Amino acid sequence: MSSTLAIIGSPFIPGWDQLGAFLPELVLVAAIVGVLITPFFTERRNFACAVVALVGLVGAFVSVFAVAGEDGAYFRGLLVSDSLAVLWKGLLLLFTAGIVLMWIGTMAEAMREGDGPEFFTLLLGATLGMSLMASTTNLLMIFLVVELASLPSYVLAGFRKTHRLGAEASLKYVLFGAATSSIMVYGLSLAYGLYGTLDLAKIAEQMAVPGAQHVLLAVVLIGLIAGIGFKISAVPFHFWCPDVFEGAHVDVAAFLSVASKGAALVLLLRMVMLIGSAAGFEASAVTVSLAWTLGILGAVTATWGNLAAFAQTNIKRLLAYSSIAHAGYMVCALSLLVARRNEAPAADAAQAVILYLAVYLFMNLGAFTIAALVWRQTGSEQIADFSGLGRRAPIAAAVMTACLFSLVGLPPLAGFAAKLVLMKVLFDNGGWWTVLVFVIGINTVLSLYYYLRIVKVMYLQDRGEDVLGGPILPRVIGVACAAMLVIMLIGFGSLDRLTRDAGRIHDTNSSVAAVK
């Protein structure tokens, strides 16, 4: 009997201390269940589900604070909790709550009664995956949560079933996602075969041993970059992005623009950080080639996104290319995480990325909300139909202008500070990183043109259309976002302190034994 028990090992019953670290995700799962049973109690199913989802998201957001400060590895090292994870979860949940509010304000009437439960289940499911993407270093978990984030997104992209473009976008998204995730899982399985462990921290440690770098390691890293690059929509894995944004509803496009890309960036940040710190931030074959790859990937992505944005006439396509460009800026900063002699530049770069994401969240939410408002009132997504918005809807036009200026990176808006910090971190390191600073600078000038074109259409063209009416809620969200952009610039110092620890990620190697 005792031999049987020895074989069984120890089944794992997580205690409160373990579940505590999982609390935000638990609340999200509870919200999914809540959304699924809500339709049984009410006739207004869509609206009721939106409220339940909102309550769940706010509850999860609050519980993030309960997790804050309890750094460590949980669930036998499969889940890590540190300030990077906490910061991203806070941002993500806040943003998704904003998306739900935006849906109530603009999209609710466009959805058929009875589709709400499905919509919010998928939205919350994707959010769950994206939140977990920030807090794991286990290859199995990485694959699982990337899929959990992707699969609902495919359906969300094609949620307008009768819409031809939506169906096409969804199909493209699925095919592209399936291809890249199979490349990624191939890379992950090779990593497991090479090092015999699923824990990325241990793999990174073995990678750092001189002479232990197998040629196959290149395939592993390419696979990882393909899988995560698809989520970030880095060039050349970006083809799905404009089509999906155009085919999906504005709220889904907005959700994907920040949540999906941000989660992938945070995951990439954590992985690259682990590889860098295991190598002691010294230059080795792996770290140098990874840094170069990320730097080139970021520069190409930013330039490509900006150049392609020029020709766009559809506001969602334009914002899609703009989001590709912004992802490119952030990937540029990730190239600092490896191949520097000490930890400081890496930590600074991690912080710059988190700060950038925080600001990017509000400018994108604001811009998409106004696009959704215009769509609701005119049924159009063409930039030309923004004409005269300065007269027809002064508040909406002002909010849009603020968000666009912030996207360019002009003062007095937080986009300016975020971009400045990003460029400064790169510039401080000299070397070929200075080239990246120039690339970002040139791209900023390029982006000025297409962002300002929208402002020009709104204020300098007028086709004498009627005043744009519509509900008050989207305007409130928009004004709140624009206000946040100003507040964040004023309070950038305290924001800087808040995110100081972002770069100090938790290494499972150091504590897994203790937690067990």
Partner 1 sequence: MTTVLFYIFALLVACSAIGVAVSRNIVRTAVCLFFTLTGVAGLYFLLNAEFLAAVQLVVYAGGTLILIVFGVMLTNRLPSAGWDVKPWEKTVALGIGAVLASALVASILSLPPRAQPDESGAYPVLELGAALLGDYLLPFELVSVVLLVVMIGAAYLAKGRRRNREAQP
8 lies in the site for partner 1, by CB under 8 A: yes
Contact of 352 with 333, CB cutoff 8 Å? yes
Query: How many residues bind to partner 1 according to rule CB under 8 A?
Result: 42
Between 12 and 438, name the residue whose CB sits nearer to partner 1: 12
128 lies in the site for partner 1, by CB under 8 A: yes
Shortest spacing between CB 128 and partner 1, in angstroms: 7
Preceding amide of 412 cis, omega within 30: yes
Between 25 and 507, name the residue whose CB sits nearer to partner 1: 25
- DSSP-assigned letter for residue 39: G
Query: DSSP letters along 121-158, please?
Result: HHHHHHHHHHHHTTS--BHHHHHHHHHHHHHHHHHHHT
118 lies in the site for partner 1, by CB under 8 A: yes
311 lies in the site for partner 1, by CB under 8 A: no
Distance CA 478, CA 78 (A): 39
Query: DSSP letters along 59-121, please?
Result: HHHHHHHHHTT--EEETTTTEEE-HHHHHHHHHHHHHHHHHHHHIIIIIGGGSPTT-HHHHHH
Between 162 and 211, name the residue whose CB sits nearer to partner 1: 162
Contact of 361 with 94, CB cutoff 8 Å? yes
Q: Which amino acid is at 383?
A: I
292 lies in the site for partner 1, by CB under 8 A: no
Token pair for residue 179? 């291809």
Half-sphere exposure of 246 (CA within 13 A, CB side): 19
Between 59 and 158, name the residue whose CB sits nearer to partner 1: 158
Contact of 385 with 461, CB cutoff 8 Å? no
Contact of 506 with 72, CB cutoff 8 Å? yes
Give the alpha-carbon dihedral of 205, 208, 214, 219, to 10 degrees: 80
Q: Which amino acid is at 194?
A: L
Between 124 and 357, name the residue whose CB sits nearer to partner 1: 124
259 lies in the site for partner 1, by CB under 8 A: no
Between 75 and 239, name the residue whose CB sits nearer to partner 1: 75
Between 231 and 238, name the residue whose CB sits nearer to partner 1: 231
Between 384 and 513, name the residue whose CB sits nearer to partner 1: 513
76 lies in the site for partner 1, by CB under 8 A: yes
Distance CA 202, CA 209 (A): 11
337 lies in the site for partner 1, by CB under 8 A: no
178 lies in the site for partner 1, by CB under 8 A: no
Contact of 339 with 283, CB cutoff 8 Å? yes
Shortest spacing between CB 37 and partner 1, in angstroms: 13
Shortest spacing between CB 78 and partner 1, in angstroms: 5
- List all residues 6 or more positions away from 328 whose beta carbon is below 8 Å from its beta carbon: 234, 235, 297, 298, 299, 300, 301, 302, 303, 304, 305, 443
Between 116 and 229, name the residue whose CB sits nearer to partner 1: 116
Between 144 and 476, name the residue whose CB sits nearer to partner 1: 144
256 lies in the site for partner 1, by CB under 8 A: no
Query: DSSP letters along 16-53, please?
Result: HHHHHHTHHHHHHHHHHHHHHHGGGT-S-HHHHHHHHH
Q: Which amino acid is at 390?
A: G
Token pair for residue 145? 């949560």
114: left (phi over 0), alpha (psi -120 to 50) or beta: left
514 lies in the site for partner 1, by CB under 8 A: no
12 lies in the site for partner 1, by CB under 8 A: yes
1, 2, 10, 514: residue in contact with partner 1 (rule CB under 8 A): 10
Length of the chain: 516
State the sign of the Cα–Cα–Cα–Cα dihedral 259, 235, 184, 330: negative
Distance CA 449, CA 461 (A): 16
20, 29, 391, 487: residue in contact with partner 1 (rule CB under 8 A): 29
What distance separates the 2 farthest-apart alpha carbons in the chain?
Answer: 86
125 lies in the site for partner 1, by CB under 8 A: yes
509 lies in the site for partner 1, by CB under 8 A: no
Between 63 and 138, name the residue whose CB sits nearer to partner 1: 138
Cα-based distances in Å from 403 to 23, 191, 290: 33, 42, 33
- DSSP-assigned letter for residue 77: T
Question: Quick one: which segment of 53-61, 81-89, 111-119, 329-337 binds partner 1 (CB under 8 A)?
Answer: 111-119
User: 């992985």: which residue's tokens?
Assistant: 271
177 lies in the site for partner 1, by CB under 8 A: no
9 lies in the site for partner 1, by CB under 8 A: yes
147 lies in the site for partner 1, by CB under 8 A: yes
1, 7, 472, 514: residue in contact with partner 1 (rule CB under 8 A): 7
Question: Quick one: which segment of 117-125, 185-193, 250-258, 504-512 binds partner 1 (CB under 8 A)?
Answer: 117-125
User: 């393909």: which residue's tokens?
Assistant: 226
53, 80, 101, 155: residue in contact with partner 1 (rule CB under 8 A): 155
108, 151, 300, 498: residue in contact with partner 1 (rule CB under 8 A): 151
Question: Quick one: which segment of 113-121, 208-216, 224-232, 238-246 binds partner 1 (CB under 8 A)?
Answer: 113-121
90 lies in the site for partner 1, by CB under 8 A: no
Question: Quick one: which segment of 28-36, 44-52, 65-73, 309-317 binds partner 1 (CB under 8 A)?
Answer: 28-36
161 lies in the site for partner 1, by CB under 8 A: yes
Residues at the contact surface with partner 1, assessed by CB under 8 A? 3-4, 7-12, 14, 22, 29, 32, 36, 75-76, 78-79, 112, 115, 118, 121-122, 125-126, 128-129, 132, 138, 140-141, 144-145, 147-148, 151-152, 154-155, 158-159, 161-162
